[in-house]
Amino acid sequence: MSQILLSILTFGCLFSVLTLSLNLQYARGGMINFGIVAYFAAGAYAYAIFTQEPPKGLDQYLFGFGAPWWVGFLAAAVASMLFAIITGWPTLRLRGEYLALTTFAFAEMLHSVLLNERRIGNGSVGLSNIERPEIGWMGIPEGYVYAGAAIILMLGTALVFRRLLASPYGRAVDAVRDDETAAQAIGKDVARLRFQVFVISAVPIGLAGALYAMITTLVSPDLFTAEVTFFVWMALVLGGERTILGVVLGTLALVGFQEIVRAIPYESVRTAQLAKSVEVMLTGVIFILVLRWQPFEALGRRSKKA
Amino acid sequence: MTLFAQYVTTGIVTGCFLILATIGFSLTRRVEGFLNIAHAELLSVSAFTTWGLNAGAGWPLLPAALVGIIVTAVVGLLIGRIVYDPIRGHGPAVLLITSVGAAYVIHGAMDAIIGTGIRTLDIPLATTYKFHGVRITDYQMIVVGLAAVATLSLALFLTKTKIGLAIRAMSANPSLAASRGIDVKQTSRATWLLSSGLAGLAGVMLAMVATLSTDIAFNQILQILAVAILAGLGSLYSVIAAGLIVGIAMDVSVYWIPAGYRPLIAFAVVIIALLVRPEGLSGKKAR
């Protein structure tokens, strides 16, 4: 039981980082990013590539720098940011659905490249045995340390975003979302603000990717499908956009739901498979119901705006 | 050169299938005003209903396919009425995200009923014909033929019948259409039936030319999106051109680069198209 709670906490906080960043892009920046998994994957792969040993034996990847873990983290942040710059530069002038589809397209392209290009990360096999720092730290079990790291990353992200958005800069961002023409009229560089928000919010996603690679010790294209994107969107919708607390609670609730369903033991493969299908169905139903009535959003708005 | 011609031919078949799969999607986009991600799941509803009746219950293909298409049209209508109608006022972004939820529900249901594994229809093996060294199977020819017939009859339906004209009026300007006395609800229902029925037809074709697993829908939605964006999320006729472009581009790319990159080609086309012409092939602003 405590094992389940621990993994809910770890992955809940980890994915909260993604939801927070999406919240910044969507609720504050007005940008629909349907390719959030790509920045997550960029971070995870960058971490893996920078920390792993140089290739040997059956490995087909070209680069492995054997760097310490903190270099991997830096690389993850930079990779995610670079990918945001590359994808944001040409696409951010698109609006609404078009932006959603283009970001989605970019994410699928990255997935396709990672799957087919063996020289990056062994193609569909992925990279395993990813470097983890030595953390026999003061006798605390590793699970707790990783949960702690996820919590710190989440709190850090939340604090930075909060600071950022409470500042005059944040009000400029809000102004752009609410009325672009008006913001432009008072001298705000709309395109630049949107681009900045897009790139800034990609950094924590990359860091979360690195931490994710560290915890699972595995990166493969299967882990970074559009399902992650949809999952984060669901968490955002569930938690009610715009409030930091709501976003985090929504993610924790969704992760908790999945972890608990997965923890139920099954007797046969067929029942396990059936349960998985039912889980997918239920997720969809919850999603539809939440979007229809948006109960948490009303709650969050009433208490306070973050 | 023959090999190249072969890829172009396969590309045309893929393109014809994509046209059928996308027309319903584009129709929904125009009339209902949002991108229905669950549209691709309807393809698999139809494909598996046909499969269940054909391979499971032993029906001949034709009645099985007809029932499959009708079932899909009704499922699509029900989803439209139950899921999308109540939230129509929330804007296209909410509807788009909701449709992801709907896709999950359908996908989960299909998985629960059908289970994993690869299925094929119980139909005779394809016969291959050769024209100047280019091979094409009879099923592929059926796909091309059906796509042509379906597109033509849809065009006739939309320009000659009363409901068709109402649908076009709705897609051009919903509030004006409503104020001119068009029954908005009825037209919306007709659109759901029509677009889902077209998804059903595309699903049957998919069942004929490909092997089936419950994951097929996801791969299809990527390509459908690609075609729809390229076409400009609107005009029906540009869907034809866009479907052929994406289909041929994907299959011809195999001539130069590994086949694993096929989906990437579809999206590369889309990204280039969006950057050069954000309004799509049709040249009309969709918003």
Say yes or no for a CB contact (<8 Å) between B270 and A102: yes
Place of tokens 């219950």: B57
Judge contact between A195 and A92, C-beta under 8 A: yes
Which residue, among A26, A273, A279, A291, would best test binding to B if mutated, counting the most B CBs under 10 Å from its CB? A291
Tokens of A39: 């920045």
Q: Match 């972004």 to its residue by tokens.
A: B93
Q: Has residue B262 been placed in a domain?
A: yes
Proportion of chain A above pLDDT 90, given as a percent: 13
CB within 8 Å of A126: residues ≥ 6 apart: A218, A219, A220, A221, A222, A223
Give the 3-state secondary structure of residue B133.
coil
Instruction: Give the three-class secondary structure for A218.
Output: strand
Given a contact cutoff of 8 angstroms between Cβ atoms, the answer to whether B243 and B22 are in contact is: yes
With vertex at residue B27, the alpha carbon angle to CA B21 and CA B31, rounded to the nearest 5 degrees, is 155
> What's the pLDDT tens digit per position in B1-20?
788 888 888 899 999 999 99
Query: What is the total count of domains within chain B?
Result: 1
Question: Is residue B286, in this structure, part of any structural domain at all?
Answer: no
Of the pLDDT bands very low, low, confident and very high (cuts 50, 70, 90), residue A145 is confident
Predicted pLDDT of residue A77: 92
B144 pLDDT band, cuts 50/70/90, is: very high
The interaxial angle of helices B184-209 and B162-172, nearest 10 deg, is 100
Main-chain phi, psi angles of B67, to 5 degrees: -60, -40
B285 touches chain A (CB under 8 A): no
Would B285 be classed as within a structural domain? no
Residues of chain A with Cβ-Cβ distance to B268 below 8 Å are 109
Q: Find the CB nearest B104 among A93, A112, A287.
A: A287
Residue B81: DSSP 8-state: I
Mean of the per-residue pLDDT values of chain A: 82
**What torsion, rounded to 10 degrees, do the Cα atoms A283, A285, A287, A290 define?**
-130
Is B79 among the domain residues? Answer: yes
Question: How many angstroms away from the CA of B115 is the closest CA of chain A?
Answer: 8
pLDDT at B286: 42
Which residue of A281, A293, A297 to mutate against B (max B Cβ within 10 Å)? A281
Checking DSSP bridges between strand A127-128 and strand A218-219, what pairing results, if any?
antiparallel
Task: Give the pLDDT score at A300.
Answer: 47
Residue type present at position B143: V
User: Is B102 close to A104, i.e. CB distance below 8 A?
Assistant: no
* Residues above pLDDT 70, as percent of chain B: 95
Which of A212-226, A290-304, B38-52, B83-97 shows the lowest mean pLDDT across its residues?
A290-304
Distance CA B183, CA A75 (A): 58
How many structural domains compose chain A? 1
Kindly report the nearest CA distance between residue A98 and chain B, in angstroms: 8
Of A91, A108, A280, the CB nearest to B104: A280
Higher pLDDT pick, A242 / B109: B109
Distance, in angstroms, between B105 CA and closest chain A CA? 4
Residue B122 has pLDDT above 90, yes or no: no
In a domain, B34, yes or no: yes
Whether B81 maps to a domain, the answer reads yes
Q: pLDDT-derived band of residue B287, with 50, 70 and 90 as boundaries? A: very low
Can you tell me the distance from the alpha carbon of B236 to that of B153, in angstroms, rounded to the nearest whole number?
12
Specify the DSSP element, H or E, that contains B131: strand B128-131
* Residue-wise pLDDT tens digits, B257-267: 877 777 788 87
Classify residue B281: in a domain, yes or no: no
Containing structural domain, residue B108 = 2-276
Q: Let me know if A190 is exposed, middle or buried by CB neighbors in 10 A (0-12, 13-18, 19+).
A: middle
Token digits for A115? 């799957």
Residue B90 lies in a domain: yes
Task: Say which of A274, A281, A291 has its CB closest to residue B104.
Answer: A281
Domain ranges, residue A11: 2-225
Q: What is the pLDDT of residue A126?
A: 78
Residue B190 belongs to domain with CATH number = 1.10.3470
